[in-house]
Structure 1
């Protein structure tokens, strides 16, 4: 994709101008048809450099008194605070972009449970390649806004997650200095990352992957890297609706006596039903079943579904027991 002409307009002049300049690249990367799930559709180097420059200028150039540039409450704020505002507004646009994209993918899912997994696995592979490419394209957002937000205790793991630990230290008469709290937070962070497969002595790549999954598993109000932001939205807008069990409503006739009924199996989510239909039935090639089970488990892991989830346990069993 070539660099779009913007004439004399300055893409970094405002959020609408910057977003209008970036959005065609995001759509090209994420929505262009492709059969290559290993590489996202590319954009021209001059366009890529233009996005880097415009994003950098948007964050670093502060225009005091420019109408409409900042919310009224932040006009008199410090430069650091106004830069954070500028990071937050672009970050929210990116979050909404991924949410809208995933909802489109969800709407395109087949209604037949027997073909759902065959749609979901390649769909996710295409999506993750796009998310990784966009993360690299807009890495300055990670370096400027996300890192600073994490430093200000707005990341995937916050001091609020440690309230019980800190309170126990106070009760036990332990140290509650800033240094002690930071040490506890660091230990807590490592404990959480180990829940996503990291082990002591692991490589930096393994550490980064485990933390990416921990970020993807975080609530929507936590600030995470752009790639984790995309994975988190795939979980909340696609995977979780598929995992949710349908609600059952029972109507009781007025005056009817209460009668004990035998326990019945609870309804299962659509993704669980799809696994049962495709991966647990006879007639499907065992190598294919094993590959689908493994791919689906990796997808759930990547978007922040923990290995204690019943479906992940089932998929691991299938992948282990079926021949490769």
Structure 2
């Protein structure tokens, strides 16, 4: 995937990945056997050399059903142990598989960062198609591993481990609650807090799709200890492993420290910028790129930052939203 560059939306057809022969082995016997069974499917969906940024490569129907059944059988067996045990140190069923999926996307995202070009001028042309390809792979993996979402993620959210917890909303409730408030009124204030957070990510009143998209962005923006759907998990890892390192401002060593140039006129001095900020500045000010292409790149970059959970008040998101070509 590190060779992608430019506006690539289609590629050579890649046939569906067939179900591997497992013999008499049971893929659901252990996490290691389950992961060995799932990994080829994830690699095909997420890491294959296809440059189609609109649709991830498919897997054979039998393989698809096999992955679903293996996840179901593995988590079901864990659930029985979890529900019947009196021990408190047994993890929730599905947690180990979820953590393994998280590590997989972290590794996949880091591979993309390692493939990034050294020249700032080429960075945006590289990162946008990379993200688009990675994102369609994440959405395909989300469907493939839907039983993990339905069982583990839903249960974790019900146990207050999701992107927005009760403790996150307590400050809002404390400021607005009255001693005379009934349970229903407190629940309403919690819903108001959730709606306020989601409005930061989109027009949630527009339609159900907009609400779902806003929640996916909010999930991607959450800390790593919050349990989120697999597609949001993948987008969160892209933010943590790719975007945040590219946004990081370089640190100068004490010895031979470069002086920050003084400001000409009023305003703060122009401090050092991260690679992505420099690339955006170069894009927006470039006279060598046609306006239509600059508009497309700026718009897609703004969409990417939103999807991976870069918050609306981040300077780069504000810069892209204020720029007329990215409206």
TM-score (norm 2): 0.85
Deviation at 1:308, TM superposition (A): 2.2
Matches within 5 A, 1:32-111: 32-62=48-78, 77=85, 85-111=92-118
Cα distance change on mapping 1:95 and 1:268 into 2, 3 Å: same
Aligned to 2:127: 120
Cα distance change on mapping 1:93 and 1:113 into 2, 3 Å: same
Larger Rg: 1
Aligned residue among 175, 178, 183 for 2:181: 175
Deviation at 1:75, TM superposition (A): 9.7
Aligned to 2:196: 191
Q: How far apart, in 1, do the equivalents of 2:35 and 2:231 lie?
A: 18
Contact 2:46/2:56 (8 A) holds in 1: yes
Deviation at 1:30, TM superposition (A): 0.8
Aligned residue among 22, 28, 35 for 1:19: 35
Deviation per CA, 1:194-224: give whole Å up to 9, x if none: 1111243x21111100100010111111000
Contact 1:12/1:54 (8 A) holds in 2: yes
TM-score (norm 1): 0.86
Aligned to 2:22: 6
Tell me whether 1:284 sits opposite 2:284 in the alignment: no
Deviation at 1:265, TM superposition (A): 2.0
Aligned residue among 241, 245, 261 for 2:245: 241
Deviation at 1:249, TM superposition (A): 4.1
Q: How far apart, in 2, do the equivalents of 1:125 and 1:307 lie?
A: 20
Aligned residue among 203, 219, 224 for 1:220: 224
Q: Could you list the runs of 5+ residues in structure 2 that have no partner in the other structure?
A: 1-16, 257-261
Deviation per CA, 1:30-76: give whole Å up to 9, x if none: 11111311111111100000001111111112598xxxxx8xxx796
Aligned to 1:258: none
Q: Could you list the runs of 5+ residues in structure 1 that have no partner in the other structure?
A: 65-69, 253-260
Contact 2:113/2:242 (8 A) holds in 1: yes
Aligned to 2:235: 231
Give the count of matched residue pairs: 302
Contact 2:78/2:93 (8 A) holds in 1: no
Q: How far apart, in 2, do the equivalents of 1:207 and 1:199 lie?
A: 4
